[in-house]
Structure 1
């Protein structure tokens, strides 16, 4: 059973959003963008988005989902949140903020940008600039 996909994101058509980001709005990109942004701000893995695409009858491979998520990230439409090793989530909220990661549930929750204070950063190598600082606070339920 296919799910209905909402084609507007905060009043903006995803096709226009892709074009504005410098991406050609291919059928697969549009379909994946509709899935990504139709449910508000959220964190999801490539595997979860692929499952949603399959459920919505969007013919796309997992490799294409990975490639598309990385293209969206490079274009500034997503933010990549690396939790550990091969655990990567993609965040539809690209403004400055940090994250809680709930171990055992593999759940990522936003911390508002002003919720964490960074006192001192190390000296950065010459010719480099800080793009942003990601803080991931790991949580687990008390025994």
Structure 2
């Protein structure tokens, strides 16, 4: 399992190129957010993005952060991981994998896809194919 709690580094030019490849206009705010996100695999919430950007005194509004993260997810640059109805992470790891969520600490970790076996799937209507399966295992400290 991997947990990414570091500040990745990526050059602005690489972020601009990545955004353009995905049909996204590289505004200053989008590039700032991209620089924060795309240097490596990490799980990050919109509030964490806002806090990290505010720490650098960059003028990016909460609405811009939420809209940009939503756009990045829509364009396939991020995965949205909803761990409960009030908590969503954005995951920069686009490879097939699952997650382990630590309820008390709020930490989200990757689990390799090969480490989870699903023995049976429901029968789908004829007009549908499976697009993906996301498993989130929620854990808490064991009762003593």
Q: TM-score scaled to structure 2, two decimals?
A: 0.87
Range that drifts further, 91-100 or 50-59 = 50-59
Find the counterpart in structure 2 of residue 136 from structure 1: 136
Counterparts of 1:47 and 1:6, CA distance in 2: 19
Q: Secondary structure at the match of 1:54?
A: helix
Matches within 5 A, 1:51-130: 51-130=51-130
Does the alignment pair 1:50 with 2:50?
yes
Q: Root-mean-square deviation (CA), in Å?
A: 1.9
Q: Secondary structure at the match of 2:137?
A: strand
Find the counterpart in structure 1 of residue 35 from structure 2: 34
Cα shift readout 1:94-141 (whole Å, capped 9, x = no counterpart): 110000000111110000111101122112234333221000011111
The number of aligned residues is 137
Counterparts of 2:98 and 2:33, CA distance in 1: 25
Give the unaligned 5+ runs of structure 1: none
- Ranked by relative contact order (alpha carbons within 8 Å, sequence separation 6 or more), the top structure is 2
Counterparts of 2:8 and 2:116, CA distance in 1: 35
Structure 1 residue 63: deviation in Å? 1.4
Alpha-carbon contact 2:44-2:90 (below 8 Å) kept: yes
Q: TM-score scaled to structure 1, two decimals?
A: 0.88
Counterparts of 1:119 and 1:103, CA distance in 2: 26
